């Protein structure tokens, strides 16, 4: 029986990771409540999730707070950018549904907009959490990474969509949102992102100095 609770046992590691996700999830939800801090808390969450994805030891709350405090400059603009992108896609499809004429044009615009914004935002938060770069270059790099690793990124999007469907399946599964939902999604993205980042880091000149939160920061893909 003691073997099950040994630090080296699979059960112990699973429960430890589950606990880490729970703590990370609660902190992200709480620190995202003002909405304007959504970008900051998401960068902080990815700073922690990237470490969890690589099984690096750390203190979830302490690391989150440290990253939260050091990412205001990029986090606040990213809050507005993220909300604006979601609103723009939503508005496009609302116009499509309400249009009496030329509805197909609005549908096409909505699909193109959703495509661009999805790939621009897919890796931008892990990039900002790990590498030193401007918001514009990070958005550009996220899109370029999505294109370069298209099939892998498409699989990631499908997995995220599946996770969302499961979480919103009924009132019971919606409890997962409070427990580990967003944090599990962050870990899913981080697992895919770290594999890609490690691949890109093999090329000289693609990695900059570490940032204040203790994670590496990326230069733009023009240097990758």
pLDDT in tens, 147-162: 999 999 999 999 999 9
How high is the pLDDT of residue 208? 45
pLDDT in tens, 164-209: 999 998 888 888 888 999 999 999 999 999 999 999 988 865 644 4
How high is the pLDDT of residue 115? 94
How high is the pLDDT of residue 56? 85
Domain residue limits at 101: 2-223
The number of domains in the chain is 1
Give the mean pLDDT of 79-97.
91
- Rounded to an integer, what distance in angstroms lies between the CA atom of residue 97 and that of residue 73? 38
- Rounded to an integer, what distance in angstroms lies between the CA atom of residue 84 and that of residue 224? 28
How high is the pLDDT of residue 215? 44
Residue 38 has pLDDT above 90, yes or no: yes
Q: Is 144 exposed, middle or buried (0-12, 13-18, 19+ CB in 10 A)?
A: middle
How high is the pLDDT of residue 223? 40
Instruction: Say how many C-beta atoms besides its own lie within 10 A of residue 36's C-beta.
Output: 13
Question: Do the Cβ atoms of 200 and 221 come closer than 8 Å?
Answer: no
How high is the pLDDT of residue 41? 97
pTM of the model: 0.85
How high is the pLDDT of residue 206? 62
Tell me if residue 170 falls in helix, strand or coil. Answer: coil
How high is the pLDDT of residue 57? 73
pLDDT in tens, 42-59: 999 999 999 999 988 789
- Rounded to an integer, what distance in angstroms lies between the CA atom of residue 63 and that of residue 41? 12
pLDDT in tens, 121-135: 999 999 999 999 999
């Amino acid at each position: 029986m003691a073997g099950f609770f040994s630090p080296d046992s699979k059960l112990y590691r699973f429960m430890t990771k589950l606990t880490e996700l729970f703590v990370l999830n609660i902190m992200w939800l709480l620190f995202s409540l003002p909405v304007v801090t959504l970008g900051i808390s998401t960068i902080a969450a990815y700073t922690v999730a990237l470490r969890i994805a690589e099984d690096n030891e750390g203190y979830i709350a302490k690391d989150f707070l440290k990253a939260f405090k050091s990412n205001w400059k990029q986090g606040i603009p990213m809050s507005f950018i993220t909300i604006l992108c979601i609103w723009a896609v939503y508005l496009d499809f609302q116009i499509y549904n309400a249009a009496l004429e030329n509805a197909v044009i609005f549908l096409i615009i909505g699909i193109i907009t959703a495509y661009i914004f999805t790939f621009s935002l897919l890796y931008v938060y892990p990039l900002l959490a790990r590498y030193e770069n401007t918001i514009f270059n990070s958005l550009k790099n996220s899109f370029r990474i999505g294109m370069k690793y298209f099939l892998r990124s498409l699989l990631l999007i499908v997995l995220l969509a599946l996770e969302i469907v499961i979480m919103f399946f009924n009132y019971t599964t919606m409890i997962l949102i409070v427990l580990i939902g967003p944090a599990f999604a962050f870990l899913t993205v981080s697992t895919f992102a770290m594999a890609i980042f490690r691949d890109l880091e093999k090329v000289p000149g693609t990695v900059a100095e570490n940032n204040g939160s203790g994670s590496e920061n990326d230069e733009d893909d023009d240097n990758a």
